Copies of this chain bind each other. A is one copy, B any other.
């Protein structure tokens, strides 16, 4: 198939290489010239502008956006609309909020342009070697695109999830589960670290990766991380988050679903961003007030 890829960051670039390896033709654009040149070296048609990219595509044109979630997606869509015609397809493969995807889909349908929201998982390696794709939008458009997904996904690694927004909804929930799983693993190793035993963490992660109930890709990655730095002494425990965990908790609130584990995983991330907390000061001050318990002075 012919695909136009907009956005050649870690994920977009690796998807391009994946598509090319499977014999698809890819026109590739990024705001920066360096990844464009690299994509060209792999065999993609580098485009210097979105207009050029669109002009390289046969009809119906298929444009895959792989840009950071947020306003940039809207900007790219606004740029694309006048260049596309009825029957063309725009894919958002990024981590957009599913409600925004629904709204964008409605907007594009007014122009007769199809919009597919595609949650992409598997990390940068999966993007290159075979990933996991959760696909929302019209089923007939999915059918048209299915050969592409069959190629770039691992076996059984793509799913037509349903109507508009369902792909990004699934991806969001997937990330919520991911937060919970990561925190679960992390709490486990914290217990090992605080115990009197002297475990070799890489070996522990390895044995848990082989034959145990908790074997998982995340445990494999845990093993890799400890292989590089056996006690993780070189890094700080600051846990950033990129939004999808937050959206999952917000969705839980809207659906009146209790999601304590996903929420706690997120809160522990927020907590890790601070070296001291105001709530801690309040509790320490209160203990001092009623019990005369010492507080630690600043300084």
A side interface size, CB within 8 A: 131
Per the bound structure, the CA–CA distance linking A158 and B203 in Å amounts to 9
* Cβ–Cβ contact A124 & B199, under 8 A: no
Q: Are B268 and A258 in contact (CB under 8 A)?
A: yes
- Residues from chain B with Cβ under 8 Å of A222 in the complex: 282, 285-286, 289
Looking at the assembled complex, report how far the CB atom of A187 sits from the nearest CB atom of chain B, in whole angstroms: 4
Whether the pair A180, B183 counts as a contact (CB closer than 8 A) is: yes
Verify B180–A211 contact, CB threshold 8 A.
Answer: no
Q: Is the CB of A210 within 8 A of B180?
A: no
Residue in A161, A262, A277 whose Cβ sees the most chain B Cβ within 10 Å: A277
Cβ of A34 within 8 Å of any chain B Cβ, yes or no, is no
A contact face: mostly helix, strand, loop, or mixed: helix
Q: Is A72 an interface residue (CB 8 A)?
A: no
Neighbouring B residues of A281 by C-beta, 8 Å: 232, 235-237
Expressed in whole angstroms, the Cα–Cα distance for A215 and B213 within the complex equals 12
- Selected interface stretch from A22-30, A44-52, A76-84, A249-257: A249-257
Interface assignment of A214: CB less than 8 Å from any CB of chain B:
yes
Cβ contacts under 8 Å, A209 to chain B = 156
Q: Is the CB of B177 within 8 A of A261?
A: no
A234 CB-CB contact with B under 8 Å? yes
Whether B204 and A170, one on each chain, are in contact in the complex, defined by CB atoms closer than 8 angstroms, is yes
A-B complex: 10 closest residue pairs judged by Cβ atoms: A237-B280, A180-B184, A216-B216, A132-B211, A157-B211, A123-B290, A186-B279, A154-B211, A186-B282, A159-B207
**Supplied contacts A180-B181, A181-B181, A232-B281, 11 more A-B pairs, CB within 8 Å:** A121-B212, A134-B207, A153-B211, A177-B185, A181-B184, A191-B259, A213-B217, A224-B289, A235-B295, A240-B284, A261-B264
Interface residues in chain A, defined as those with a beta carbon under 8 Å from any beta carbon in chain B: 10, 121-126, 130-134, 153-159, 161-163, 165-166, 169-170, 173-174, 176-195, 197-199, 203-204, 206-219, 221-222, 224-225, 229, 232-240, 242, 246, 248-253, 255-273, 275-293, 295-298
